[in-house]
Chains A and B, each alone.
Chain A
């Protein structure tokens, strides 16, 4: 089914893409390889990969001395809570907009859609002031809540629920089931693909979020992993040494990367929107 062309051109294109792919992975491979070398060696040479001294000391140092485990736990708490809360809020609201009638619905839907145009960067100053007024900075609540106001999820779920055939609901309605019952028994199970899309999006976004944690969490014990790693970059390459920094990048990046390899199919489907159509 591919474009039919001559074989030579096909091979040249493939060779070029493979070369580019090598350029793409080279930085990661280099950092990974050197993370197993002693700091003292790396101050002399960083161009020896396969030979020379090897050590696990950099990783042992991370486990022993840094707050990285605390940051990982914080990231898991924040990302999971945000994802679950987002799925609940967006599913309920999406169903309400797509399948029920109530006074003022259309006005409210337009009001919510207008929020799609507001980038979160544009409201960080007032958000900071509001959480400061409530003395809620450096709490999980402050890290979790603001992103839940972003209307993308509601928009996604509304579109999805609208596409589910009405007949499926009619049967349940004739059975005298309540709205809420229909939502949980009939509609929610049908929307699992959309839930997966929104869930993956929300989780990745929360895990990788940098700006809001940077503003809200000022105590190191409330840092997320993304923010914590940034805080160790400020004294770049001076105190702990290059090898330590490299092992930190691997330590923080590898779990996400392995998760990605496991859930690749779903993540790619979520990103390219194929489950939504």
Chain B
């Protein structure tokens, strides 16, 4: 079909080298600042590159072997997986719940939607500053509330058990608006007639949700879960600014490990190797995404 149309206006539609000029500017940036660094990063991960001692030699897979035996790195991989497992289900369930509750016309709904989405336009440094203040041991908002309720104060950011869940909670507070908006957009695409039919059937609210609403927006549920998994694997700023990865390495994610081994210890070979591991994990996540989205056509 397209080929026929192309023949009709061969003069302009035909393949021409000059048309590649549209692509050229982006392609130059892409090759120089994405493809080249990707290749160089792989090469660097095979080097013992230390900026402090100014050494650089080819060491094969030694950096990867070192990472395998590095308790801090392996801990950061565990922390990242835990973080994703804690945050993603909340993003999906709470995001959907808010969208269902706020899918209403009128002012109240608009104000509430603006409140839940508003925090996501703030930068990570403002969010962590606000929450460090809220969670201050003696003078924070939380300490005040605990005090007023007669409860003992506690400091979640300096607790090994609570540091990572607290970072996850702050992350949810920060960007719950994104999944909520994606779900709202999906809910508004569901035709009204199916609900009217359900109302005539006298279906209960719960049955309507499970049998009509959820099947109608299942693609968006999958999409949100995938987006959040990919986004949350890259967690960095919240952890670095709230806890510096502590206490006792209990909240350091992989990206923070990369940052620290590269730019505070200046062992760049090591950091490049850790980057390849992160890239590998992300590629597996994306392959899963493609597999799921390929399968969902068959649903």
A30 CB contact (under 8 Å) in B141, B259, B271: B141
Q: What is the size category of the interface that chain A forms with chain B?
A: 35 or more
B46 contacts the other chain (CB 8 A) = no
| Chain B residue contacts of A259, Cβ below 8 A | 121
- In the complex, the answer to whether B33 meets A124 with C-beta atoms within 8 Å is no
- In the complex, the answer to whether B27 meets A3 with C-beta atoms within 8 Å is no
Q: How far is the CB of B101 from chain A (nearest CB, A)?
A: 5
| Chain B residue contacts of A110, Cβ below 8 A | none
Q: Pull 10 A–B residue pairs with CB atoms less than 8 Å apart, ordered by A.
A: A31-B133, A108-B27, A119-B282, A122-B38, A122-B278, A130-B33, A151-B34, A173-B12, A210-B123, A214-B259
Q: What is the size category of the interface that chain B forms with chain A?
A: 35 or more
- In the complex, the answer to whether B20 meets A28 with C-beta atoms within 8 Å is no
| Identity of the chain B residue whose Cβ is nearest the Cβ of A268 in the assembled complex | B181
- In the complex, the answer to whether A211 meets B121 with C-beta atoms within 8 Å is no
| Chain A residue contacts of B23, Cβ below 8 A | 92-93, 96-97, 102, 105, 108
A66 contacts the other chain (CB 8 A) = no
Give Cα A118–Cα B39 distance, bound, in whole angstroms: 12
Classify the secondary structure of A's interface with B. helix
| Identity of the chain A residue whose Cβ is nearest the Cβ of B237 in the assembled complex | A210
- In the complex, the answer to whether B263 meets A215 with C-beta atoms within 8 Å is yes
Within 8 A of B (CB), among A89-128: 89-90, 92-93, 95-97, 100-105, 108, 111-112, 115, 117-119, 121-128
| Chain B residue contacts of A260, Cβ below 8 A | 118, 121
Q: How far is the CB of A83 from chain B (nearest CB, A)?
A: 15
Give Cα A2–Cα B182 distance, bound, in whole angstroms: 18
| Chain B residue contacts of A43, Cβ below 8 A | 139
Give Cα A215–Cα B86 distance, bound, in whole angstroms: 29
- In the complex, the answer to whether A225 meets B123 with C-beta atoms within 8 Å is yes
A194 contacts the other chain (CB 8 A) = no
Within 8 A of A (CB), among B236-261: 236-237, 241, 255, 258-259
Give Cα A130–Cα B40 distance, bound, in whole angstroms: 9
Nearest first, the 4 A-B pairs at minimum CB distance are A96-B22, A272-B185, A149-B33, A100-B19
- In the complex, the answer to whether A245 meets B126 with C-beta atoms within 8 Å is no
B90-126 vs A, Cβ < 8 Å mask (1 yes, 0 no): 0000000010011110001000111111110111111
- In the complex, the answer to whether B37 meets A28 with C-beta atoms within 8 Å is no
B22 CB contact (under 8 Å) in A16, A92, A204, A248: A92
- In the complex, the answer to whether A89 meets B241 with C-beta atoms within 8 Å is no
B291 contacts the other chain (CB 8 A) = no
| Chain A residue contacts of B72, Cβ below 8 A | none
Within 8 A of B (CB), among A25-60: 25-28, 30-31, 42-43, 45-47
CB-CB under 8 A for A148 and B263, given A127-B37, A272-B182: no
